[in-house]
Amino acid sequence: MAVLGRSDVNGNDMIENLIAARKSLKLSLEKSKALGFALEKAGPRLDEINQRLPSLEAAVRPIRADKEALIAAGGHINRAIGPAAAVLKVFDAVHGLEKSLSDPRNNLAGYLSVLKRLEEALRFLGDNCGLAIQWLDDILEYLEDNVMADEQHLLHLKKSLKGLRESQSDDERARLDGGLLNAALDKLEGELRRLLTEHSVPLPMSSSPDLGEQAVIAPSLLPVSVIHKLQAILGRLRTNNRLEKCMSIYVEVRSSNVRASLQALDLDYLEISIAEFNDVQSIEGYIAQWGKHLEFAVKHLFEAEYKLCNDVFERIGLDVCMGCFSKIAAHTGIVAFLQFGKTVTESKKDPIKLLKLLDIFASLNRLRLDFNRLFGGAACIEIQNLTRDLIKRVIDGAAEIFWELLVQVELQRQIPPPPDGNVPILVSIITDYCNKLLGDNYKPILNQVLLIHRSWKREKFQERILVSEVLNIVKAIELNLETWTKAYEDSIISNLFAMNNHYHLYKHLKGTKVGDLLGDSWFREHEQYKDYYAAIFLRDSWGKLPGHLSREGLILFSGGRATARDLVKKRLKNFNEAFDEMYKRQSSWVVPDRDLRDKICQQIVQAVVPVYRSYMQSYGPLVELDGSSSKYAKYSVQTLEQMLSSLFLPKPGRYASFKGRQLSAKFNNGVADLRRTTSAVV
């Protein structure tokens, strides 16, 4: 029992020990597990600590730096922070101005004031950013030299400072405000355009060619208040290097306005080609319009634009003013006006062209002072060159045609006379032409043109040279008429031709400037010639008809009634045949002057009709009872008188040149191409 008892006690102790050991192991395992878990969690923390060690090292590095270096670093930092802080403060102020730059239309003065402050702020930023960057560069260099900052941190600072330095270029500096200034200036340009557009109103004009009745243009086309606003806007935009854009806007708007003003004048003819000017039907009317339109454009439109340019740009300078004005003038038609004149000078030569060239010269001469004042600056050099070239062409062309007139008239002498006995176009044109050249309208102009032309050749010119040349042309016409009179094979139409032309010279030159130079004896001579040839014409033609109505052998009816009837029939037949032949031949002849035609027809009627009436009253009954009476009593007295009174009427389709072109209704004075020498004088 004792042994058993001792054994039981030992067994219980052993179990308790095992249990205790088991608990101890379990506890150890749990601690090991907890420790493992703790170690597992400590790994990332150690990695994190490891990663933070460099920054901690950098943070404590200044503590390890030299004491004197640390003390000096404070001064460097303070010097860098001051400018940088000021720049940042101004930068914040710049963006604070954005709300005040909404619309210049509402308050232009306030807008310009804020804009000026913005410019000043940006100027401060532009001037001081560089200084701040320089101080920051210095502190960076100091930290780097004294190993007082982490290399990564220094690298980041260097990168930032490099970006700041690049922002100091002109293009980048403009973006310091985030584009605020450019946006504000764009709005100001828009306000400039709006003010110009809303106050640029085309002049009210009628399309009537009589432009002299147009109302006088006001001294300025814009209100003074608007001009002041434009000047203020231009000043700000000019400060910001936007003057060229301003000029472009001004020229665009004002040019459009001038073109709209001219639109009512129908200036399409300015684009006409040289080929179209070969047609004389258009040249005279267009040049008359051209002179009036050019004078109106220069004295009213361009004059007003010139003054307005001076008013708007007076604070900027004359060069800018003239630059804008020259572009407006060029864009709105002055060049087209001058080109039209050049086109006229390049058209073919003929007498009417001389008068038209003189018209062009007169228009340009009237505007000479205006041209010199408006277009005399260096900016208008193109207009000056075109004007000088046109004047030279006009003077050369007019002088050339004038000095060739006499030769060309002489050359026409070789051409056959008109087959209808009419006054040749050459005679009609040249007589009227000479009257105009020596008239009050053209003589002073032609004298001036010839004087200038001779001066270019260093030759003298006197007024008597012009008069002498015109008189020589008239003498050449007289010689032409003498030659043409002798050229007819039929002497009767030769006499009619001579009568027509002597009377034409008498009537169309008497009482004129040319006529005063020719003298009274010259006119008496031509009047006598007219009467002489009229008498010869009547005697040798219609004056012979009454001879066919002889009463010989009929007075006493000596041969009986039948014999008398036969004689009457024979004589009436001969009269009718002679009348028909003469009437047929002369029905195509012409006496162009109405008074002369009525007179010569009346003389023919007086020579023929009374004799015919008396004869028919006396002997008509002898043939009227005959069955064939209509063969002999062919015409009644009334019919005969009507036929004779209707002779020599002008035919439609009169020609205006020696080439046989039909005269246009537009031109009353005709036109002749004196270079042609192979066509009939019509």
pLDDT for residue 149: 59
- The model's confidence at residue 505, banded by pLDDT at 50, 70 and 90, is very high
Residue at 586: amino acid letter = Q
For the chain, percent of residues with pLDDT exceeding 90? 46
Give the C-alpha separation, 682 to 418, whole Å.
Answer: 5
DSSP one-letter string for 198-220: HT--PPP--S-S-GGGSPPPPS-
| Pairwise pLDDT comparison (176 vs 611), residue with the higher score | 611
Residue at 571: amino acid letter = R
Cβ(670)–Cβ(682) below 8 Å? no
- The model's confidence at residue 156, banded by pLDDT at 50, 70 and 90, is low
Cβ(518)–Cβ(471) below 8 Å? yes
The region of weakest confidence among 46-60, 415-429, 511-525, 617-631 is: 46-60
662 pairs with which residues across the strands? Answer: 655
- The model's confidence at residue 662, banded by pLDDT at 50, 70 and 90, is very low
For the chain, percent of residues with pLDDT exceeding 70? 69
The region of weakest confidence among 442-451, 553-562, 582-591 is: 553-562
Cβ(141)–Cβ(157) below 8 Å? no
- Tell me the mean pLDDT in the region 461-489: 92
Cβ(151)–Cβ(210) below 8 Å? no
* Residues across the chain: 682
- Tell me the mean pLDDT in the region 340-353: 86
- The model's confidence at residue 252, banded by pLDDT at 50, 70 and 90, is very high
* pLDDT of 536 higher than 90: yes
Give the C-alpha separation, 493 to 532, whole Å.
Answer: 14
pLDDT for residue 628: 67
- For residue 74, what are its two tokens? 């404070």
Q: Which of 178, 203, 331, 220 is nearest to 260 (CA)?
A: 203
The region of weakest confidence among 152-161, 327-336, 451-460 is: 152-161
Give the C-alpha separation, 296 to 212, whole Å.
Answer: 8
Residue at 178: amino acid letter = G
* pLDDT of 541 higher than 90: yes
- The model's confidence at residue 647, banded by pLDDT at 50, 70 and 90, is very high
Evaluate the CA torsion angle 149, 151, 154, 156 in order and state its sign. Answer: negative
pLDDT for residue 624: 72
Among 155-164, 389-398, 624-633, 643-652, top mean pLDDT goes to: 389-398
pLDDT for residue 323: 94
Q: How many Cα neighbours within 13 Å face the side chain of 498?
A: 26
- Tell me the mean pLDDT in the region 111-135: 65
The region of weakest confidence among 15-24, 184-193, 484-493 is: 15-24
Give the C-alpha separation, 194 to 25, whole Å.
Answer: 97
- The model's confidence at residue 591, banded by pLDDT at 50, 70 and 90, is very high
- The model's confidence at residue 586, banded by pLDDT at 50, 70 and 90, is very high
* pLDDT of 668 higher than 60: no
Residue at 232: amino acid letter = A
* pLDDT of 641 higher than 70: yes
pLDDT for residue 213: 45
- The model's confidence at residue 679, banded by pLDDT at 50, 70 and 90, is very low
Q: How many Cα neighbours within 13 Å face the side chain of 284?
A: 15
∠ Cα 212 215 221 (to 5°): 125
pLDDT for residue 487: 95
pLDDT for residue 451: 92
Instruction: Kindly compute the dihedral angle of the four CA atoms of residues 564, 567, 573, 574, in this order, to the nearest 10 degrees.
Output: -150
Cβ(367)–Cβ(297) below 8 Å? no
- Tell me the mean pLDDT in the region 366-395: 94
Q: H-helix or E-strand containing 119?
A: helix 108-145
Cβ(345)–Cβ(379) below 8 Å? no
pLDDT for residue 216: 44
Q: Which of 534, 536, 532 is nearest to 544 (CA)?
A: 536
* pLDDT of 667 higher than 50: no
- Tell me the mean pLDDT in the region 534-540: 96
| Pairwise pLDDT comparison (606 vs 107), residue with the higher score | 606
Residue at 294: amino acid letter = L
pLDDT for residue 383: 95
* pLDDT of 118 higher than 60: yes
* Residue pLDDT, tens place only, 434-448: 999 998 999 999 999
The region of weakest confidence among 117-121, 124-128, 317-321 is: 124-128
- Tell me the mean pLDDT in the region 176-181: 63
Widest CA span in the chain: 233
- The model's confidence at residue 27, banded by pLDDT at 50, 70 and 90, is confident
pLDDT for residue 392: 96
- For residue 310, what are its two tokens? 């001076």
| Pairwise pLDDT comparison (126 vs 513), residue with the higher score | 513
- The model's confidence at residue 173, banded by pLDDT at 50, 70 and 90, is very low
pLDDT for residue 291: 93
Cβ(597)–Cβ(591) below 8 Å? yes
